Chain A
């Protein structure tokens, strides 16, 4: 039940994060944009158990895919397949990271947010290059990928501690696995 409420709160945060990131000004120089959706996604998949986190990844993919949807002459430029595969892969990786560190850690969340942002923008760019042809790897392109990732790294702890305070009841640390007892 409590996990269900957390899941709904996180789902509501997805469109809110997209609307807020659109309102934020570009980061000078090179007009880098802050990406909040990957930060919320990382928090969600690390806070939820495996199966709900997969559903949350699917919802994130749907929102991200629809936000970036461009239909040119009836052809979809970046459909939902790439976001679905991308976010599911990261959901599984972040679940594994969460398990390896015995529960949610803000450091893992921050690094995960930066890594998800970096790979998301990189993959979007590569898919566009495949669809449109050409691979203009210039410094501005690299900075447009790196600047939002650094911004995600810095913003992630703020969001982590804000959400953790808001919904403490849902975020119980996973206890360390009990050591086997061999004493008779």
Chain B
């Protein structure tokens, strides 16, 4: 074996050992760098995918466009009317909260983001979004849609972030069941079936399918209180506690746009 080959093998061995000994801070920094490298590819790929997906939709006749325009216009009027009604309700709600001395916790500062793709990792449920540290995004920020909780930010580069979905086993959320005093911890499962498991409930909890589950907003936690998490599908008592299976509120398989909660208003 030539000297140069021995030298390259020694350098290789040193590099391999160094990689194995890297600490979480350095790994996180390297991951951020890799996300930065992948960002332009993911963004342009997502744009191409989106263009291909909408190609058929763009090819509409004038009649179809007119019909679509009228439908959207009518929907817009309906939504405006609903929004006005909700604004009144919000004012009443705010007033009642002030009267009761509760802190207003339902208003968030939101940053909209586009979903670039679902990660191909099989054992982790993560997605990539087109917002990063340049938009003020930091790890552990909650991610939501108008339907409910999506997950939390786990890795950030300048304009790309990774979101750990609520269906991942590692995404644990303190949750409460609507209309009861039941509280528990929700998490996904390793066997990725897209359901949530709400554990540490009372064995005698009287939960019915269809009951809504919301985030509990514990002190020191990252998820604010009152965000829809899921709906009870079934409940069963275990040896020490009760466990409910939940259907996530947000449609995690068809996410296109999400909002990152950057703080309270």
A94 interface residue per 8 A CB criterion:
no
Total contacting residues, chain A, CB less than 8 A: 54
Please state if A134 and B120 are interface contacts (CB–CB under 8 Å): no
Residues of A within 8 Å of B122, CB to CB, are 32-33, 35, 121, 124-125, 144-145, 148
A residues at B contact (CB < 8 Å): 15-16, 18-24, 26, 31-36, 51, 54-55, 58, 61-63, 65-72, 74-77, 79-81, 84, 88, 121, 124-125, 128-129, 132, 134, 136, 138, 140-141, 144-145, 148
- For A76, the chain B residues whose CB sits under 8 A away are 24, 27
Chain B interfacial positions (CB closer than 8 Å to A): 5, 8-9, 12, 15-16, 19-20, 22, 24, 27-28, 30-31, 34, 37-38, 41-42, 45-46, 49, 116-124, 128, 154-155, 164, 169-170, 189-194, 253
User: In the complex, which of the residues A69, A77, A128 contacts B155, with contact meaning CB atoms closer than 8 Å?
Assistant: A69
- Pair A51/B8 contact, Cβ less than 8 Å: yes
What distance in Å separates the Cβ of A183 from its nearest Cβ neighbour in chain B?
A: 33
CB pair A77–B170 under 8 Å, yes or no, is yes
A15's contact among B30, B41, B46, B194, by CB below 8 Å, is which? B41
Q: Contacts A68-B124, A79-B27; is A51 near B38 (CB within 8 Å)?
A: no
Majority secondary structure, A binding face: helix
Q: Is the CB of A140 within 8 A of B120?
A: no
| B27/A22 in contact, CB under 8 A | no
Partner pick for A125 among B12, B123, B194, CB 8 A cutoff = B123
CB <8 Å contact, A69 and B191: no
A26 to B193, alpha carbons, bound, how many Å?
Answer: 13
Given B5, B15, B30, which contacts A66 in the complex, CB threshold below 8 Å?
B30
Residue of A nearest to B42 (CB): A19
B171 to A, closest residue via Cβ = A72
User: CA–CA, A124 to B12, complex, Å?
Assistant: 24
CB atoms of B121 and A68 under 8 A apart: yes
CA distance A60 to B119 in the complex (A): 17
Q: Is the CB of B15 within 8 A of A58?
A: yes
The interface residues of chain B lying within 8 Å CB-to-CB of A65 are 19, 27
Would you call B164 and A75 a contact (CB within 8 A)? no
Q: Given that A58-B16, A80-B22 are contacting pairs, would A20 and B190 also be in contact in the complex, using a CB cutoff of 8 Å?
A: no
Complex contact B128–A141 (CB within 8 A): no
Given A22-B117, A33-B120, does the pair A69, B28 have CB atoms closer than 8 Å?
Answer: yes
Minimal Cβ-Cβ distance residue in B for A117: B122
Contact assessment for B192 and A69 in the assembled complex, using a CB-CB cutoff below 8 Å: no
Contacts of B8 in A (CB 8 A): 51, 55
The answer on a CB contact under 8 Å between B20 and A79 is yes
